[in-house]
């Protein structure tokens, strides 16, 4: 599975008057450069989630695992884009045993960071190799898998991101080799014309 995980933005958690637990926050923030495992930097461009937010069935998880606490398809999870990033809102059912098991941890701040899981297949990215450490700009995610509240923001998908960098470099090399071969062929053709 080529799912990449990013995150680290604090969530806001509070009980509401009807006894539910409101969770709001940004699963992703635009324009901030993140160090992805010391292999490359990554930035998310404004609008990168526009298609996914309106298309994908996204679930809200704990540490990107387990049963969903909320879901866009059921209307219990709301995802929107604004100028800051990918915003999520949900009201968790305080009677749900899974929610009961984490409420204390969320209130204490032990479980308070937002994260998101995505795939790039079918998306759009650009790489800048002109710096010592490459920079990947995510212009459009291929699909959005989940948003999660996490203990420790993880970069579990870095090996997939590294594969994406390697693919980019391989494509660059092929393109340069093709251009060099075409140039040599042109030179041979020009030389043949001059000598005949």
Strand runs labelled E in the chain: 4-15, 21-29, 34-36, 40-44, 59-62, 65-71, 77-81, 85-92, 113-119, 124-128, 135-140, 143-150
**C-alpha–C-alpha distance, residues 23 and 134, integer Å:** 35
Q: What predicted TM-score, i.e. pTM, was given to this entire model?
A: 0.74
d(CA 121, CA 164): 10
pLDDT, average across residues 155-184: 56
Note down the domain range covering 51: 4-195
84-136: pLDDT as tens digits: 999 999 999 888 998 888 888 887 888 888 889 999 999 999 999 898 889 99
Number of domains in the chain: 1
Per-residue pLDDT, 156: 41
The answer to whether 69 touches 90, Cβ cutoff 8 Å, is yes
Write out pLDDT tens, residues 9-55. 677 777 777 778 888 888 888 988 888 878 888 999 999 999 999 99
């Amino acid at each position: 599975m080529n799912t990449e995980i990013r995150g680290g933005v604090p969530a806001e958690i509070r009980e509401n008057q009807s006894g539910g637990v409101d969770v709001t926050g940004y699963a992703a923030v635009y324009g901030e450069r993140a160090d992805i495992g010391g292999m490359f930097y990554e930035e998310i461009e404004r609008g990168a989630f526009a298609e996914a937010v309106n298309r994908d069935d996204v679930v809200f998880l704990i540490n990107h695992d387990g049963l969903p606490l909320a879901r866009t398809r059921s209307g219990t999870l709301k995802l929107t884009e604004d100028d800051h990033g990918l915003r999520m809102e949900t009201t968790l059912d305080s009677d749900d045993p899974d929610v009961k098991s984490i409420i204390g941890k969320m209130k204490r701040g032990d479980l308070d960071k937002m994260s998101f899981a995505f795939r790039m297949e079918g998306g759009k990215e650009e790489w800048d190799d002109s710096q010592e450490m490459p920079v990947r700009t995510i212009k459009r995610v291929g699909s959005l898998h989940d948003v999660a509240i996490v203990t420790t923001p993880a970069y579990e998908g870095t090996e997939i991101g590294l594969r994406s960098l390697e693919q980019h470099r391989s494509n660059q090399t092929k393109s340069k080799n093709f251009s060099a071969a075409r140039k040599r062929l042109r030179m041979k053709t020009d030389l043949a014309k001059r000598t005949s």
